[in-house]
Structure 1
Amino acid sequence: MSDNIDTRVTPSFHPETVQAIAEYDDDTSSILAGTVSAFTEAYIAVGRVHDASAASKTNPAWNEAAALIHTADFADKLTLQLAKRFDSATAGLSRVIEGLEAELSQPIEGQGVGAMAGEIRAFVRGMSDGERMGFIRKAIEAGDNRTVGACLGGPAYLSGLTPEMQTALLRVHHEKANPRAAKQLRAAKAGLELLGERGGLVFGEMEKAVGAKQAKVQKLRAAKAAAEKSFVV
């Protein structure tokens, strides 16, 4: 779509802003597909309202007020569709994030059994807090599953850890063991942030495309409705 730039529309809606997310690649494109679609639809919709505004001015049967009302009516319909699209994309990414968070936080109970595991826990428990965290982090980086399982696969206190420490280390372990899921989570969170930031721009961009503030359009609609009452039989 980079070859089809509409200078009337904010680049904040261009789908390539989603594809510019650092983690966007073959592993994450399917997760962000709904976000790309929402941005694409927004980019095209705002352009369509600009087109409608220009066309309304060429209708000899419409004065300026009528042209604004018809253009605003069209913009309102598209805005409603976009709101649903952004809500759907947001809900989809929220579900993805929830699933990945659970996957990257699951306990590894059962991996810390046996005499060797007990000796490892006793050894680690005898360290200072700083040494203990550093030792386990190094074991995670080295792929030393025996040490990691012993320290994180049982109750935290057996290794001298607090539950919070164990939770943090479990997350490091899972992200190391499953970098694809970790990348997908980062991408999903970045996409969700984009949706939140850019979704609110729809109303302002539609207003610009219509060519008048919403308050002015509402006054024109009210005046039109009042005038039309005189023609009711």
Structure 2
Amino acid sequence: MAVDLGMGVDTRITASLHPQSVASLDEYDSETEGELQQVVQAFTSVYEGIGKVLDVRDVAAGNTAWNEDMRTIKVQEMADRAFAKFAPQLDKVYHNMRAGAELIEKQLSAPMEARAAHTISTQIRDHVKGLAERQGTSTADKRPGQSALGFVQAAIQKGDELTVSAVLGAPAYLSGLTDEMQAVLRRLWNEKANPTASKRLRAMRAAMDLIQDRAPLIHKEMERVVGKSPAYAKMLRDKHNAAEKALGGI
């Protein structure tokens, strides 16, 4: 759900780069705020950095001692300094989100041990295997919700750990399942058993998507603020530096 950060708005900057865009993610709440706070801080650095470039542009515009080319050079220099400061921070946050997501992925895909007594676990697996074999040999015997997968999925929804662990805590073939089917069921159980971790994973993925989506806007916004392309600004700076060097030799 969206959370109001209560931050001011600089109307000179596109709203897409405002830190509020992070707090407006559906996955942002009290349970994920800790993980996403660093993303908010990174977007804040971007937003404030662009604001400083705009401040320099406004000052340069009022300096009658500079022509248009010199104003472009000075504003681009500030843009380069701002970008060099916040770009590594945004990149680091993205990698932090990816590392955190990978860790939770492993947790949600972790194997489990059978909780029931050996005899009961064996009987449960035999029952599930019977459902799988019956479904595979006779279409007439197929009943809604009574397939092997349907049976285990229902147990997961009910929180029946004995049944679930008997099937998922042993080799898949003992229950007539494939390894892929068992992996899907294990993931469903782990998500059911640990909803907070699942929410954190969704939040991290949403933050990564947001960063990837908004990062290209930074370059466009910087170029809009400077008024010229970085390549053109560099050409002006190189000419200026060459002239300064030539004058220094006189």
Instruction: Give the shorter-chain TM-score range.
Output: over 0.9
Q: What's the CA shift for 1:3?
A: 5.5
Q: Which runs of 5+ in 1 are unaligned?
A: none
User: Conserved in 2, the CA contact under 8 Å of 1:79 and 1:203?
Assistant: no
For the residues of structure 1 that align with 2:30 and 2:89, how far apart are their CA atoms? 23
Give the match for residue 4 of structure 1: 8
For the residues of structure 1 that align with 2:60 and 2:116, how far apart are their CA atoms? 72
| Paired amino acid for 1:101 | E
| Paired amino acid for 1:124 | V
The question of 1:126 aligning with 2:142 is answered no
Deviations 1:152-183 (A, max 9, x none): 01101101111111111001000100100000
CA-based RMSD: 1.5
User: Conserved in 1, the CA contact under 8 Å of 2:114 and 2:162?
Assistant: no
The question of 1:106 aligning with 2:110 is answered yes
Deviations 1:84-129 (A, max 9, x none): 0111111111121011111111100343650010001001001126
User: Conserved in 1, the CA contact under 8 Å of 2:114 and 2:121?
Assistant: no
Give the match for residue 206 of structure 1: 222
Give the match for residue 120 of structure 2: 116
User: Conserved in 1, the CA contact under 8 Å of 2:57 and 2:71?
Assistant: yes
Q: Which runs of 5+ in 2 are unaligned?
A: 137-145
| Paired amino acid for 1:56 | A
Query: 1 or 2 for the larger relative contact order (CA 8 Å, sep ≥6)?
Result: 1
Give the match for residue 224 of structure 1: 240
Deviations 1:15-36 (A, max 9, x none): 1111111111111001011111
Q: What's the CA shift for 1:232?
A: 2.9
| Paired amino acid for 2:46 | A
For the residues of structure 1 that align with 2:151 and 2:71, how far apart are their CA atoms? 71
Give the match for residue 84 of structure 1: 88
Give the match for residue 140 of structure 1: 156
| Paired amino acid for 2:57 | S
TM-score when scaled to structure 2?
0.89
> Which shifted more, 217-226 or 19-28?
217-226
The question of 1:31 aligning with 2:41 is answered no
Give the match for residue 231 of structure 2: 215
TM-score when scaled to structure 1?
0.95
- CA pair 112-151 structure 1, distance change in 2 beyond 3 A: farther
Moved beyond 6 Å, runs of 4+: none
Give the match for residue 74 of structure 2: 70
> Which shifted more, 152-161 or 124-133?
124-133
| Paired amino acid for 2:81 | K
| Paired amino acid for 1:173 | W
Identity rate of aligned residues, in percent?
A: 39
Give the match for residue 44 of structure 1: 48
For the residues of structure 2 that align with 1:34 and 1:167, how far apart are their CA atoms? 32
> Which shifted more, 126-135 or 39-48?
126-135
For the residues of structure 1 that align with 2:211 and 2:87, how far apart are their CA atoms? 11
The question of 1:151 aligning with 2:155 is answered no
Q: What's the CA shift for 1:2?
A: 4.7
